Structure 1
Amino acid sequence: MDLGISGRTAIVCASSRGLGRGCAEALAAAGCNLVINGLDAVRLDATASDIRARFGVDVTPVVANVSTGEGQEALLAACPEPDILVNNNGGPPRRDYRELDRQAMIDGVIQNMISPIEMIQKVADGMAERGFGRIVNITSITVRMPLAGLDLSSGARAGLTAFLAGVGRPYAARNVTLNNLLPGKMDTDRLRGGLEQAAKTAGRSVEEVGQAQAAEIPAGRFGTAAEFGQVCAFYCSVHAGYVTGQNILVDGGLYPAAF
C-alpha cells in the first residue's frame, strides 16, 4: 500500500534502537526523510547510515535527551517544520512503588508525560497551518493493564493519554491527528531486561521465563519492532486522516477485553 507520505519529514524520538527504530525504518520505507534521535552517538550514527543505505532517504541523527528543553530544541533545529512526530522515550526502570522518592517520580513524569506534551506544543500549530500533521505517541499496554513494578511509567503515560484526549481533537479539522500506540510485550532490550530480572528472582533460565510469558499471549509470541513500526507508519499515512484520539493496542491479544 502506498501510504501517501513519500517526501514528508518525520521526527522520531528515541529511535536508535527498539520500537523507535522500528518506526523510523517503516517511515523510511514509505519514503519519509527522517530526524532520528538517541543518546549514544555511535549507535545513532550506525542506525542513520543503515537506514540511508537501505531506503535511500535523508536521515539526520541528533544526539540529544528529548526529556530536556535543549534536546527538544536540537531536534527542531534539525527539522523546524516536521510533517510527522513520533513521541517516544525510555521509561523508568522497574521498581516497587515504595522505593520511589519524589525526584524519581518527577523524572518519570517528565520522561513519559511532560516531554511529549512539550514536543506537541512546539509542532502541532505549524502542522495545522500547513494542513497536514501526524502525531503518534508510543505509550504502553500498562495504560490499560498495570504491570508490577511499572507503576510510575503507567501513571505518567496514562496522564499523557488523558491530557491529549482533549488537546488533540480540535486539530482534526486541519488534517492533524494525534493517536497513541500501546505496545504489549515486544522483543526489545527493555523486555529482555525484565525477563532477566524475573529469571533471577525465580531461579529459572531466561529462556524458560520468556517461553512462559510468550505462552500467555494469544499470539503465542512477543511482538517485533518491525511490525510495530508498520502500524505506526499506517497511522502517519494519508489513509488515517479520519482516525484521531485513539489508543491502539499492539499486543498480540494480551489485553483481555472487548473495549
Structure 2
Amino acid sequence: MELGLSGKWAIVCASSRGLGRGCASALAEAGCNLVINGRDAAQLTRTAEELQNRFPVTVVPVAADVSTPEGQKALLGACPAPDILVNNNGGPPRKDYTELDRNAMIDGVIQNMITPVELIQAVVPGMQDRGFGRIVNITSLSVRMPISGLDLSSGARAGLTAFLAGVCRDVAGSGVTINNLLPGKMDTDRLAGGFEREAAQTGKSLAEVRKTSAALIPAQRFGTAEEFGQTCAFLCSRHAGYITGQNILMDGGLFPSAF
C-alpha cells in the first residue's frame, strides 16, 4: 500500500533499537526522511547507517536524552518542521510502589508524560499551518491493564493519554491526528531483560520462562518491532486522516476485552 509519505520528515524518539527503531524503519521504507534519536551514540550511528543503506532517504542521528530541554532542542534543531512525531522514551525500572520516592516519581512523569507533551506543543502549530501532521505516542498495555511493578510508568502514560484526549480533538480540524500505540509483550531487549531476571530468581531456564510467558498470549507468540513499526507507519499515512484519539492495542489478544 502506498502510504503517501514520500519526502516527508519524521522525528522518531528513542529509535536506535526496539520499537522506536521498528517505527523508524517502517517510515523510512515508506519514503520518510528521518531524525532518529538515542542516548547511546555508537548504537545510534550504527542504526542510522543501516537505515541509510537500506532505504533511499535522509537519516539524521541525534544523540541526546529526549527528556531534557537540551535534547529536545537538538531534535527540533535537526528537524524544525516535522510532518510526523513519534513519541517514545524508556520507562522507569520495575519497582514496588512502596519503594518510589518523590524524585523517582517526578522523573517518571517527566519521562513518560511531560516530555511527549512538550514535543507536541513544539511541533503541532507548524503542522496546523501546513495542514498535515501525524503524532503517534508509544505508551503501553499497562495503561489498560495493571502490570505489577510498573505503577509509575502506567500512571504517567495514562496521564499522557488523558491529557491528549482533548488536545487531539482540538487539532483534528487542521489535519493533525494524535494516536497512541499500546504494546503488549514485544520481543525487545526490555522484555528479554525481564525474562533474564525471572530466570535468575526462579532457577528456571530462559527458554522455559519465554515459553510460559508466550503461552499466556492468545496469539501464542510475542510481537515484533517490525509489525509494530508498520502499524505506526499506517497511522502516519494519508489513509489514516480520519483516525484520531485512539488507543490501539498491539498485544496478541492478551487484554481480555470486548470493547
Q: How does 1:54-65 map to 2 (within 5 A)?
A: 54-65=54-65
Q: CA deviation at 1:61?
A: 0.1
Whole-Å separation in 2 of the counterparts to 1:174 and 1:166: 15
Aligned to 1:182: 182
Deviations 1:123-176 (A, max 9, x none): 011101100000000000000001111111000000000000011111111110
Q: How does 1:137-156 map to 2 (within 5 A)?
A: 137-156=137-156
- Structure 1's unaligned 5+ residue stretches are none
Structure-2-length-normalised TM-score: 0.99
The AA in structure 1 aligned to 2:231 is V
Whole-Å separation in 2 of the counterparts to 1:74 and 1:136: 20
Whole-Å separation in 2 of the counterparts to 1:147 and 1:245: 23
Structure-1-length-normalised TM-score: 0.99
Whole-Å separation in 2 of the counterparts to 1:3 and 1:191: 30
Q: How does 1:71-220 map to 2 (within 5 A)?
A: 71-220=71-220
Deviations 1:193-242 (A, max 9, x none): 11111222222111111110000001100000000000000000000000
Whole-Å separation in 1 of the counterparts to 2:63 and 2:142: 28
Whole-Å separation in 2 of the counterparts to 1:53 and 1:5: 19
Aligned to 1:42: 42
Deviations 1:22-79 (A, max 9, x none): 0000000000000000001111011000001001110000011000011001000000
- Structure 2's unaligned 5+ residue stretches are none
Q: How does 1:245-256 map to 2 (within 5 A)?
A: 245-256=245-256
Over the aligned positions, Cα root-mean-square deviation in angstroms equals 0.6
3-state SS, counterpart of residue 45 of structure 2:
helix
3-state SS, counterpart of residue 157 of structure 1:
helix
Aligned to 2:2: 2
3-state SS, counterpart of residue 173 of structure 1:
helix
3-state SS, counterpart of residue 145 of structure 1:
coil
Whole-Å separation in 2 of the counterparts to 1:26 and 1:184: 19
3-state SS, counterpart of residue 157 of structure 2:
helix
Whole-Å separation in 1 of the counterparts to 2:115 and 2:94: 20
Q: How does 1:235-254 map to 2 (within 5 A)?
A: 235-254=235-254
3-state SS, counterpart of residue 177 of structure 1:
strand
Whole-Å separation in 2 of the counterparts to 1:158 and 1:210: 28
Deviates more, 1:138-147 or 1:191-200: 191-200
Report the count of equivalent residues. Answer: 259
The AA in structure 2 aligned to 1:107 is D
